[in-house]
């Protein structure tokens, strides 16, 4: 009997798979590439909401658990996908400078915000009010992580590319059967694809479409991430990832001309050099109306679990939430109430 069937192989699914394997559990991961939000994500991680200079929920705990996990995966697979790189928030006014100083004085933000402004001249970027430096930042090359992990799962015969068939689940008292496979638990980590899941499609998973560009800008010469109305992330060879848009109506993964033009206009407000668009892509982020993830047990079928709603911060949230769910299943440790889907069912009853 297999311990865990894991449906979905983005950041959430891979995180759960790795935690289960580290704890000597048997797994089988299903992926049919129907929801590519992890693959097209910017991959940036930082512990601060830079629009309001406020701390990300459980930022310290997410960093402390997540990055040792990523480091272990890098060593196990002999790949590199975690790149530490500073994020500089381009400040737009004296008022923003003052807000930065006030935030950097707060005990919960002091480890993450440098109290001294960075006064550095980057070619083709006008920054009269300088920059705020964020600590504990970087980006994951998510494509490298996912493809490397897929290959690893295939080698240990723990990967299936078939589309998961919800109707093929048979329920027993303490297990399920799926097309002849006996398993104790099923973890659904499908991102926006959760809408097609008949067991959890009543959860309030919204979707926020994001579009990104890869540009080539030989004159830009950045060795940091610049964050303003969009982010500019150097990825080598004069290439930069630029993002992202937020569209709450369009639920497709198709890049749009409107999204491209929005990114170009915002980029031109930051840089003055020429650039060429190399790639343009989009995807729907699994966001939730109350801005908290969706984690927990199905109210009727106790063998089924959901791990979803990572939104724009999947790099940091994925390992932290996967570990919470694993500890909840294996050791009966209660989930934090902010993420437990019980909150959604309680609202529906009221």
In angstroms, rounded to a whole number, what is the distance separating the alpha carbons of residues 4 and 339?
21
Q: Looking at the structure, do residues 343 and 214 belong to the same domain, yes or no?
A: no
Whether 55 is covered by a domain: the verdict is no
Q: Of the residues 287, 307, 332, which one is the last residue of a structural domain?
A: 287
Q: Name the domain count of the chain.
A: 2
Express each pLDDT in 238-254 by its tens digit: 999 999 999 989 989 89
Pair 43, 141: CB distance under 8 Å = yes
- Report the candidate in 172, 154, 164 with the shortest Cα–Cα distance to residue 198: 164
Whether 17 is covered by a domain: the verdict is yes
Q: Is the peptide bond before 244 cis (omega within 30 degrees of 0)?
A: yes
Phi, psi (5° rounding) for residue 94? -60, -35
- Residue 243 gets the label, from left (phi > 0), alpha (psi -120 to 50) or beta, of beta
Q: Looking at the structure, do residues 199 and 295 belong to the same domain, yes or no?
A: yes
Q: Looking at the structure, do residues 255 and 278 belong to the same domain, yes or no?
A: yes
Neighbours of 175 (CB within 10 A): 14
Q: Looking at the structure, do residues 181 and 212 belong to the same domain, yes or no?
A: no
| pLDDT over 60 (residue 301) | yes
Q: Looking at the structure, do residues 121 and 155 belong to the same domain, yes or no?
A: no
Whether 149 is covered by a domain: the verdict is yes
Q: Looking at the structure, do residues 227 and 128 belong to the same domain, yes or no?
A: yes
Whether 189 is covered by a domain: the verdict is yes
Whether 228 is covered by a domain: the verdict is yes
Express each pLDDT in 47-79 by its tens digit: 999 988 999 999 999 999 999 999 999 999 999
Q: What is the CATH number of the domain that holds 120?
A: 3.30.9.10
β-bridge pairing 54-55 and 48-49: antiparallel
Length of the chain: 350
Q: Looking at the structure, do residues 175 and 198 belong to the same domain, yes or no?
A: yes
Q: Looking at the structure, do residues 165 and 265 belong to the same domain, yes or no?
A: no
pLDDT at residue 237 in the model: 95
Neighbours of 197 (CB within 10 A): 20
Q: Of the residues 271, 287, 303, which one is the last residue of a structural domain?
A: 287
Sheet holding 82-84, edge to edge: 44-45, 138-140, 82-84
In angstroms, rounded to a whole number, what is the distance separating the alpha carbons of residues 328 and 318?
15
pLDDT at residue 38 in the model: 57
* Mean pLDDT of the residues in the chain: 94
Q: Of the residues 268, 287, 306, which one is the last residue of a structural domain?
A: 287
Q: Looking at the structure, do residues 146 and 255 belong to the same domain, yes or no?
A: no
In angstroms, rounded to a whole number, what is the distance separating the alpha carbons of residues 349 and 56?
30
Express each pLDDT in 180-199 by its tens digit: 999 999 999 999 999 999 99
Q: How many angstroms from the chain centroid is the CA of residue 271?
A: 27
pLDDT at residue 293 in the model: 96
Q: Looking at the structure, do residues 238 and 342 belong to the same domain, yes or no?
A: no
Q: What is the CATH number of the domain that holds 184?
A: 3.50.50.60
Express each pLDDT in 93-151 by its tens digit: 999 999 999 999 999 999 999 999 999 999 899 999 999 999 999 999 999 999 999 99
When pLDDT is cut at 50, 70 and 90, the band that residue 349 belongs to is: very low
pLDDT at residue 187 in the model: 98
Neighbours of 80 (CB within 10 A): 11
Domain that holds residue 109: 83-136+206-287
Whether 8 is covered by a domain: the verdict is yes
Q: Looking at the structure, do residues 130 and 219 belong to the same domain, yes or no?
A: yes
In angstroms, rounded to a whole number, what is the distance separating the alpha carbons of residues 67 and 87?
17
Say which residues have a Cβ less than 8 Å from residue 67's Cβ, sequence separation at least 6.
82
When pLDDT is cut at 50, 70 and 90, the band that residue 37 belongs to is: low
pLDDT at residue 176 in the model: 98
Whether 112 is covered by a domain: the verdict is yes
Whether 77 is covered by a domain: the verdict is no
Q: Looking at the structure, do residues 342 and 319 belong to the same domain, yes or no?
A: yes
Please spell the DSSP secondary structure of 87-113, one letter per residue.
EEEE--SHHHHHHHHHHHTSTTTTTTB
Pair 184, 174: CB distance under 8 Å = yes
**Unique residue bearing structure tokens 């705990």:** 61
In angstroms, rounded to a whole number, what is the distance separating the alpha carbons of residues 339 and 70?
22
**Which range (131-135, 279-283, 286-290) has the least confidence?**
286-290
């Amino acid at each position: 009997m297999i311990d865990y069937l894991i449906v979905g192989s983005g950041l959430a699914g891979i995180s759960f798979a790795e935690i289960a394997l580290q704890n000597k559990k048997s797994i089988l991961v299903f992926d049919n590439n129907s929801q590519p939000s992890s693959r097209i994500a910017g991959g940036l991680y930082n512990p601060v909401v830079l629009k309001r200079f406020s701390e990300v929920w459980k930022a310290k705990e997410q960093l402390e658990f997540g990055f040792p996990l990523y480091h272990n995966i890098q060593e196990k697979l002999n790949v590199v996908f975690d790149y530490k790189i500073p994020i500089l928030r381009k400040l737009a006014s004296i008022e923003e400078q003052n807000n930065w100083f006030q935030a950097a004085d707060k005990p919960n933000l002091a480890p993450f915000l440098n109290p001294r402004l960075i006064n550095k001249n980057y070619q083709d970027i006008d920054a009269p009010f300088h920059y705020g430096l964020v600590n504990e930042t970087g980006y994951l090359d998510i494509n490298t992580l996912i493809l490397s992990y897929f290959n690893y799962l295939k080698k240990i015969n723990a990967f299936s590319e078939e589309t998961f068939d919800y109707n093929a689940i048979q329920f027993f008292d303490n297990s399920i059967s799926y097309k002849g496979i006996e398993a104790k638990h099923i973890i659904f980590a499908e991102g926006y694809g959760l809408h097609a899941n008949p067991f959890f499609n009543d959860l309030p998973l919204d979707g926020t479409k994001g579009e990104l560009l890869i540009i080539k800008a030989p004159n830009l010469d950045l060795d940091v991430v610049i964050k303003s109305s969009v982010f500019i992330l150097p990825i080598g060879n004069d290439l930069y990832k630029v993002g992202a848009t937020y569209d709450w109506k369009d639920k497709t993964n198709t890049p749009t001309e409107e999204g491209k033009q929005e990114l170009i206009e915002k980029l031109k407000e930051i840089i003055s050099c020429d650039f060429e668009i190399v790639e343009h892509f989009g995807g729907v982020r699994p966001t939730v109306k109350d801005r908290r993830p969706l984690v927990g047990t199905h109210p009727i079928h106790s063998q089924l679990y959901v791990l979803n709603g990572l939104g724009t911060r999947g790099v940091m949230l994925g390992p932290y939430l996967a570990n919470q769910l694993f500890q909840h299943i294996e050791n009966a440790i209660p989930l934090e109430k902010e993420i437990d889907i019980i909150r959604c069912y309680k609202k529906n009853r009221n």
